[in-house]
């Protein structure tokens, strides 16, 4: 198979194919290795971005898969809504960290690392 035939095949897959990870057909793009430039396949935008967020690191992706299978706080049985409600109560409407003292809210002093990184 010559180079032009291979290019035509990839472009055809991009037009009428599906994502090689999740099988979706919309918003397809050509995935490539950013270091070598070699084309790896056709992915949807979400899967391609996901790989990018993990810096194309297979080991890091394996850690993420392990995390999804055995999430450390899953046994607590909490839902995000519970956490957000408590967080909102603690943070107040201003969004700044506050300390709960009884039912009163006191502002926390800034810690060195918070000052350093602009928090």
Greater confidence, 13 or 89?
Answer: 13
Residues of the chain with CATH 3.40.1800.10: 3-69
Cα atoms found within 13 Å of the Cα of residue 39, Cβ hemisphere only = 14
Tokens of 3: 């180079």
Point out the least confidently predicted range of 23-27, 34-38, 104-108: 104-108
pLDDT confidence tier of residue 34, bands split at 50, 70 and 90: confident
Reported as type and span, the H/E element at residue 89 is helix 80-91
Query: May I ask the CATH architecture of the domain 3-69?
Result: 3-Layer(aba) Sandwich (3.40)
pLDDT reported for residue 59: 93
pLDDT tens digits for range 86-118: 877 777 656 666 555 555 555 555 555 445 445
pTM of full prediction above 0.75: no
**Does residue 2 register a pLDDT over 70?**
yes
pLDDT tens digits for range 38-89: 999 999 999 999 999 999 899 999 999 998 888 888 888 888 888 888 877 7
């Amino acid at each position: 198979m010559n180079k032009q035939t291979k290019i035509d095949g990839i472009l055809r897959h991009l037009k009428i194919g599906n994502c090689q990870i999740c099988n979706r057909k919309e918003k397809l793009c050509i995935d490539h290795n950013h270091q070598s430039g070699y084309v790896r396949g056709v992915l949807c935008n979400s899967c391609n971005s996901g790989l990018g967020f993990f810096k194309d690191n297979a080991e890091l992706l394996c850690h993420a898969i392990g995390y999804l299978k055995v999430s450390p706080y899953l046994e607590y049985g909490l839902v995000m809504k519970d956490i957000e409600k408590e967080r909102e109560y603690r943070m107040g409407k201003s969004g700044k960290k506050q300390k709960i003292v009884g039912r009163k809210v006191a502002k926390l002093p800034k810690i060195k690392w918070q000052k350093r990184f602009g928090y």
